[in-house]
């Protein structure tokens, strides 16, 4: 029976891969590390198109650009939106802030090649699940990382984006915040320790606190931030299991409340809705307004 299930799983994976169209640009280098690569599918258009950047999940410990779904690619292309999918450094080689900075560098790289790729640099969104959702939200809320004085022309580009969409999103990676607001043992998820790579005797240190706080998207909220959409399955509740509840819908509920306090838009789906149709409506609304 186990062998049969394995065969079925392989066949399903192969079918999903077959459902994906080949990228117009494959394994484009956007940074110096071997995982700083992306694929790009260009929407057919005589005019510059909006762009969605997919950032994979995997607890910052696993995953790659290949995780982008064929359905998302097709949905974007059918809507006249180009789509890129990136890989980034994982915590086995580079802890925080490396994954977030790689996401920022990918935005800057694609923006720097806007003319070549027929992309509108003023209409760029980021999306992803779990860790990828966190990176997307971090980019949406963080101050612009552009360095006008950099010798690297890519780093002179803006990192600001038009909107962000996260599935199974965490709005904070601060274990103290998670313990207080989510409950159970969600704050003990092993991915968090690897993300910050702090020693046991440093967990309560000022050094660790600065990392916790800076990594958390919700801490960077300001009134000029873009609209976001976050979705949760509604099935992951806090428990006595280490890490249980790390995808709790409470993350979305709290983020929505905090954003609305300062007049920002946050669409939140928990349990129902938030599928591909809703996601494409969100992208079209904010990337292709009144066309």
Contacts for 231 with CB less than 8 Å, ≥ 6 apart: 165, 166, 167, 168, 169, 252, 268, 269, 270, 273, 274, 278, 279
What pLDDT is recorded for position 14? 42
> What's the rounded mean pLDDT across residues 150-178?
97
Look over the chain and give the mean of its residue pLDDT values, rounded to a whole number: 93
pLDDT score of 1 more than 50:
no
Question: pLDDT tens across 115-158, in order?
Answer: 999 999 999 999 999 999 999 999 999 999 999 999 999 999 99
Query: Tokens in use for 96?
Result: 């925080």
Question: pLDDT tens across 13-32, in order?
Answer: 444 454 699 999 999 999 99
Q: Phi-psi region for residue 199, left (φ > 0), alpha (ψ -120 to 50) or beta?
A: beta
pLDDT score of 102 more than 50:
yes
Backbone angles phi, psi at 84, to 5 degrees: -120, 155
Chain centre distance of CA 149: 28
Question: pLDDT tens across 187-221, in order?
Answer: 999 999 899 998 767 778 898 999 999 999 999 99
What pLDDT is recorded for position 291? 62
pLDDT score of 10 more than 80:
no
- 210 vs 201: CA distance, rounded Å: 15
What pLDDT is recorded for position 290? 75
> What's the rounded mean pLDDT across residues 49-76?
98
What is the percentage of the chain residues whose pLDDT exceeds 70? 93
pLDDT score of 160 more than 60:
yes
Domains present along the chain, CATH in parentheses = 31-287 (3.40.50.1820)
What is the SS3 assignment for the chain? CHHHHHHHHHHHHHHHHHHCCCCCEEEEECCCCCCCEEEEECCCCCCCEEEEEEECCCCCCCCCHHHCCHHHHHHHHHCCCEEEEECCCCCCCCCCCHHHHHHHHHHHHHHHCHHHHCEEEEEEEEEEECHHHHHHHHHHHCCCCCCCCCCCHHHHCCCCCCEEEEECCCCCCCHHHHHHHCCCCHHHCHHHHHHHCCCHHHCCCHHHHHHHHHHCHHHHCCCCCCCEEEEECCCCCCCCCCCCCCCCCHHHHHHHHHHHHCCCCEEEEECCCCCHHHHHHHHHHHHCCCC
pLDDT score of 2 more than 70:
no
Per-residue pLDDT band at 9 (split at 50, 70, 90): very low
What pLDDT is recorded for position 201? 74
Question: pLDDT tens across 263-287, in order?
Answer: 999 999 999 999 999 999 999 999 9
């Amino acid at each position: 029976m186990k062998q049969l299930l394995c065969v079925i799983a392989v066949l399903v994976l192969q079918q999903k891969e077959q459902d994906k169209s080949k990228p117009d640009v494959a394994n484009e280098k956007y940074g110096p590390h071997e995982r700083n690569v992306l694929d790009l599918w260009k929407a057919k258009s005589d005019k510059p198109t909006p762009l969605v950047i997919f950032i994979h999940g995997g607890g910052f410990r696993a995953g790659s650009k290949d995780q982008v779904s064929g359905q998302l690619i097709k949905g974007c292309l059918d809507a006249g939106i180009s789509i890129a999918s990136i890989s980034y450094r994982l915590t086995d080689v580079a802890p925080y802030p490396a994954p977030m900075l790689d996401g920022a560098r990918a935005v800057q790289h694609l923006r720097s090649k806007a003319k070549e790729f027929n992309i509108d640099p003023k209409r760029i969104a980021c999306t992803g699940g779990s860790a990828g959702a966190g990176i997307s939200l971090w980019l949406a809320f963080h101050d612009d990382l552009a360095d006008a004085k950099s010798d690297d022309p890519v780093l002179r580009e803006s990192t600001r984006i038009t909107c962000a969409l996260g599935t199974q999103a965490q709005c904070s990676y601060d274990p103290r915040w998670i313990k207080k607001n989510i409950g159970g043992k969600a704050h003990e998820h092993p991915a968090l320790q690897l993300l910050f790579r702090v020693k046991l005797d440093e967990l309560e240190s000022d050094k660790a606190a600065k990392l916790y706080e800076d990594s958390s998207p919700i801490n960077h909220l300001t009134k000029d931030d873009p609209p976001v959409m976050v979705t949760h399955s509604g099935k992951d509740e806090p428990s006595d299991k280490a890490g249980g509840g790390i995808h709790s819908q409470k993350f979305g509920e709290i983020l929505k409340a905090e954003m609305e306090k300062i007049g920002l838009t946050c669409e939140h789906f928990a349990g129902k809705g938030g599928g591909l149709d809703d996601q494409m409506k969100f992208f079209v609304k904010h990337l292709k307004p009144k066309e």
